[in-house]
Structure 1
Amino acid sequence: MDKPVVRDAALLIFRAVLGVIFVAHGWEKLFMSGVTKTTGQFSAWGVPQPKLSVWITSIAELLGGALLVVGLLTTFVAGALALLIAAAIYFVHLSSGFFTVDNGIEFPLLLIASLLMIVVFGSGRASVDGVLTRG
């Protein structure tokens, strides 16, 4: 299993799945729930500057997720998204318990751990970063 092709394939799948999750969450905030409803939720949770925070979060999730999928600026994007999720844990999930069903920290912790794996191991050769750094 310690073959470069297997490692790169695993990183590609891992990055793509994680990126799609972020794109879906950003899409949901902007286009399904909408900015107004999401701003109300952020405000109820005590997130500072809720409308601005909704825009920053939504765009970061959409753009960051897409960049993870293609593997461009991967370690930077994964680090930035990990900080965003850390803020979400602090403002939203920390006081809700552990389990996702209660809006707890279970899912955000999984996201942070996944993002940190990408920061540590990079995007792999099957990525735009991998193509740009070859040669």
Structure 2
Amino acid sequence: MDKPVVRDAALLLLRLVLGVVFIAHGWQIFLVTGLTETTGQFSAWGVPQPGLSVWIVGIAELLGGAMLVIGFLTTIVAGGFLLLITAALYFLAADFSYHAVLIVSLLMIVVFGSGRASVDRLLVR
């Protein structure tokens, strides 16, 4: 199907799902697992500057996830998440399939943009 409405609906659905996944993970870092335990996990995985990295990842996932949901600076956010997920793959090689799905999904957003149902579309007008 080469219909713009179908493509835009698919991009909206993809953005919503990815955004919620990233928001949930950022929420988990701050409020479920906690900063101290997550810092310990990062340290055990060999992540440099684990205390700082936890804050960067948590804030990026919360804010970036919300930006994906509303479609604001979508390709930039998706590109940033691609770098984040690639770094996560480097340190957590054991969970390849989950990260591969995230990478391919984020690539779709980088390549095709946010679609018409987004704040980006309103700003372009």
TM-score normalised by structure 1 residue count: 0.90
Give the corresponding residue for 1:101: none
Equivalent pairs counted in the alignment come to 125
- More helix by percentage: 2
1:111 partner letter? L
Distance 1:62 1:108 in 2: 18
- Tell me which of the two structures has the higher relative contact order, counting C-alpha pairs closer than 8 angstroms and 6 or more residues apart: 2
Structure 1 unmatched ranges of 5 or more: 97-103
- Within 5 A, what are the aligned runs for 1:7-18? 7-18=7-18
Kindly state the Cα deviation for residue 11 of structure 1 after the two structures are TM-superposed. 0.6
State the percentage of identical aligned residues.
69
Structure 2 unmatched ranges of 5 or more: none
- Within 5 A, what are the aligned runs for 1:56-135? 56-91=56-91, 93-94=92-93, 96=94, 104-134=95-125
Give the corresponding residue for 1:46: 46
Kindly state the Cα deviation for residue 31 of structure 1 after the two structures are TM-superposed. 0.7
TM-score normalised by structure 2 residue count: 0.97
Q: CA RMSD in A?
A: 0.7
1:44 partner letter? A
